[in-house]
Amino acid sequence: MTEEEKKEFEEFQKWKKEHKKEDNSTTKNPQVPNSESMGQTQSSVNNTSVPSAPPTNNTQNIPKKKNKGCITGIIIASVIFFIIICAGTCGNSNTNSMADTTVVDTAIIDSTDEHAVSTQTKKGWEISKEKDEMDDSENVWASIVSDNVNDIGYPYNEVSLTLTVRKMKKYGIDVIVQSSNGQIYGQEYQNDNYVTIRFDNNPATKYYFDTASDGSSDEVFLQKKSTFIANAKKAHTIKVEVPYFQAGRQLFTFTVDEPLVWKY
């Protein structure tokens, strides 16, 4: 029972005691008719032959009926008040129970959502396959995009880097370093046609590259392909430093939850 309900119950008990005292006082001191009313009664007796009941008896019966009615009303009011209190208590209990259930259900949903999000955001090499229509062989690509984007200035501005391991029957296996924009620059006769790569916490190593046969400058092909693939199968972090025309060497970082899976 709450403090407010307790206060209302105490006020009800106080009211019941006061009305009980009033009923008792009425019973002990019944109303007695005055001499004038007695005279009227006597004259009415003299003028009629039908005897009437004594006034005293009628006066005494009135308080008794009134007392019974008050007691019945008090009992009914007490029962109604008790039902209201019980209903309020049960309602609060049910509300709390429903609230607890809601919290538990929400917790279950939240934990499920967290698991789903962690599974969806798990990062790794993206594998894609395609059938070669000429010889029915299978072409396979494994790619990953850099975590960061570098600003190399006008006119190319922001650039990202992609590492791709490719297997095609007519070309064999290649490791391609491709820029989203700009020109990867390096000349063999100047001995600066290389990128620097570091796998996890291992020492950085130079990987010399060849330019594309079609003359495009946004991608190069690494020479030590098997070495790169072997290291990528174990690494969760790869850092690559690439030379750009008129922008110097730019550093790109690649992080994965699962290292490269390559069975070719």
Q: Are 145 and 162 in contact (CB under 8 A)?
A: yes
Instruction: Tell me which of 39 and 194 has the higher pLDDT.
Output: 194
CA 197 to chain CA mean position, Å: 42
Question: What's the confidence (pLDDT) of residue 62?
Answer: 43
Q: What is the pLDDT of residues 174-220, one digit of tens each?
A: 999 999 999 999 988 889 999 999 999 999 999 999 999 888 999 99
- Least confident piece of the model among 53-67, 70-84, 249-263: 53-67
- Pairing of the two strands 150-151 and 158-159: antiparallel
Question: What's the confidence (pLDDT) of residue 158?
Answer: 96
Question: What's the confidence (pLDDT) of residue 221?
Answer: 97
* pLDDT mean over 27-53: 45
Q: What is the pLDDT of residues 62-87, one digit of tens each?
A: 444 445 566 677 777 777 777 776 66
Tell me, letter by letter, the H, E, C secondary structure of the chain.
Answer: CCHHHHHHHHHHHHHHHHHHHHHHHHHHCCCCCCHHHHHHHHHHHHCCCCCCCCHHHHHHHHHHHHHHHHHHHHHHHHHHHHHHHHHHHHHHHHHHHHHHHHHHHHHHHHHHHHHHHHHHCCCCCEEEEEECCCCCCEEEEEEEECCCCEECCCCCCEECEEEEEEEECCCEEEEEEEECCCCECCCCCCCCCEEEEEECCCCCEEEEEEECCCCCCCEEEECCHHHHHHHHCCCCEEEEEEEECCCEEEEEEEECCCCCCCCC
Question: What's the confidence (pLDDT) of residue 105?
Answer: 47
Q: What is the pLDDT of residues 89-120, one digit of tens each?
A: 555 555 454 445 444 444 444 545 555 544 56
Question: What's the confidence (pLDDT) of residue 106?
Answer: 47
Question: What's the confidence (pLDDT) of residue 252?
Answer: 98
Q: What is the pLDDT of residues 212-248, one digit of tens each?
A: 988 899 999 999 999 999 999 999 999 999 999 999 9
Look at the domain 126-255 and name its fold. Immunoglobulin-like (2.60.40)
Question: What's the confidence (pLDDT) of residue 51?
Answer: 44
Residue-range domain boundaries for the chain? 3-120, 126-255
